[in-house]
Structures are given as C-alpha cells and as structure tokens.
Amino acid sequence: MRTPIVAGNWKMNKTVAEAGPLVREMIPLLSQVNGAEVVLCPPFTALATVAELIRSTPVHLGAQDMHWEKSGAFTGAISPLMIRELCEYVIIGHSERRQYFADTDESVQRKVAAAYEHGLRPIVCVGENLQQNEAGETAEWVAGQVRAALTGLAAEQVQTLVIAYEPIWAIGTGKPATGAGANSVAGLVIRGTVASMFGEATAQAIRIQYGGSVTPDNIGEFMIQPEIDGALVGGASLIASKFVALTEIAAKAKQAKG
C-alpha cells in the first residue's frame, strides 16, 4: 500500500518570526500521527528555521520552487544545490508558478530533471483551468502535462515521484472537485499516462495527491478514493489545528481503505 503523503504549501505566507511558533505548535501533534508522511513547504526565507525545528522528527521539509541551474547569473533564483542543503522535497510546476511566473512544460521538465540530478524528490503539480474543465479537455491537458514533466526520466526515478492533481478552478476558491472526479483523473489520466510511458508497476508506485481547497471537512472524501494518496494543502496548512486534523484524517482513511 502506498504511504499517504500530506504536504503543506505555505505559499507567500509566514515570516521567519511567524514560522517558528506555527511549527512548534504543529510538531508535538504531527509526531503522534502514524501512517502518513508529512512535508512542510514554507517560503525560502523560513526554510532554515523550519529545518532546525523539525530536526529529529518524522516531518520532512520541501521548497516551493527552484531553478534548474546549479549556479550562475540568475538574480533572485534558488538553485537545487541550495535547496538540497535543507530540503528533501521540492514543489515543481504549481499552477501559480505557471500563471504568474511563466513556468512552462519545458521549464517544469528541466526542473524535475535537475531535482533528481541533485537528490531532491519533486512534487509535480498538474491541473486544468475552469474553461478547459467545462470544455471536456481535462484528460488531454493533464496527460500532456504529465508526459512533458516526466520526459527523459528513468522508471526508477518516476517511482519515487509525487504528482499533485490540482484543478486550478478549485485552488483557493472553496469549491473543491468531487472525490470521484479527482479519483478518475488520478487513476485514468495520471496513472494511465505514467503506465503508457513507464509500465504499470511504475504507475502503481507513484503517489498522487489532490490539491484545491482541501480542509479537514472534505479531506476524507478524497482519501477514501483508491487512486488518491494524499493532499497538497494550501490555506489549511497555515493553521496548526487544521493541518494536524486533516493529516490525521488522511492517515486513518488510508488505513481503513487499505
């Protein structure tokens, strides 16, 4: 059974001074959660602080993005060498990076390749917008994003991958997808695409998260689905009680399902 993975994407929230109290509140509670892997993804400025606080705990650390080059004249960018000093995971291709910072399928592929080259585990985000969803283009669009992101990888690398399905129309809107709808995309589209590229065993090994207005009230609907293995959590990850609660629910739902 695939181990559930719940990642908290803080986005552009929490100063260093604010990150410390939040993590100190979370750690004793998250350390008691069994059966789920937990990843915190604070802003770059807070990575070192959070890394120190989660040392010797079961909680993992992730960055929200990175450049594909090791170093160079890329003002404002963060390289994989800088990330790996602190982190195990890195989010790549989030819809906000694609929308506001010009990430493309090509740049996502280069970042994924660089992550593996430097010992990082990518959480690759894919998802369609409302217009594409209503036009019935979800499968074609998401499959294309998956194919582009994984091009050039070996099956052994892909098996350690996490893919987050985030329908853009559900992110931060309070209107999540249905559990059945997200499960269909995760299984038929995402796993199906991976199977066509790398074989069924690899497709069954990857973990697929759902992201988009995830809360303690709706996480159970997604975690009972057979193809969904966790959640990429936005706003709820900024409130310790909510993030811990949905992590507990995710772990219990997966255990019951398994």
Alpha carbon distances (Å) from 183 to 34, 135, 187, 222, 229 = 24, 19, 6, 8, 10
Residue ranges of the chain whose pLDDT lies below 50: none
The three-state DSSP-derived secondary structure of 180-221 is HHHHHHHHHHHHHHHHHHHCHHHHHHCEEEECCCCCCCCHHH
d(CA 117, CA 67): 13
Amino acid at 147: R
Q: Which two tokens stand for residue 80?
A: 């994989």
Closest among 68, 118, 109, 69 to 89, alpha carbons compared: 118
Residue 216 structural domain: 5-29+36-257
CATH number of the domain where residue 162 is located: 3.20.20.70
pLDDT of residue 171: 83
Q: Which of 94, 221, 227, 248 is catalytic?
A: 94
What is the pTM (predicted TM-score) of this model? 0.96
Q: Which of 37, 96, 128, 166 is catalytic?
A: 166
d(CA 29, CA 244): 7
- List strand residue ranges (DSSP E) for 19-166, in order: 37-41, 60-63, 89-92, 121-126, 162-165
d(CA 49, CA 37): 20
> Could you report the per-residue pLDDT of 247-256, keeping only the tens digit for each?
999 999 867 7
166 is catalytic: yes
118 is catalytic: no
Residue 54 neighbours by CB distance under 10 Å: 20
Tokens 């900024």 label which residue? 238
Closest among 85, 111, 246, 80 to 176, alpha carbons compared: 246
Torsion (CA) 61, 62, 64, 67 in degrees, nearest 10: 130
d(CA 203, CA 73): 38
pLDDT of residue 258: 59
Closest among 164, 124, 127, 159 to 143, alpha carbons compared: 127
pLDDT of residue 172: 78
Q: Work out how many domains the chain is built from and give that number.
A: 1
**Cβ pair 122, 92 in contact under 8 A:** yes
Q: Which two tokens stand for residue 121?
A: 């585990």
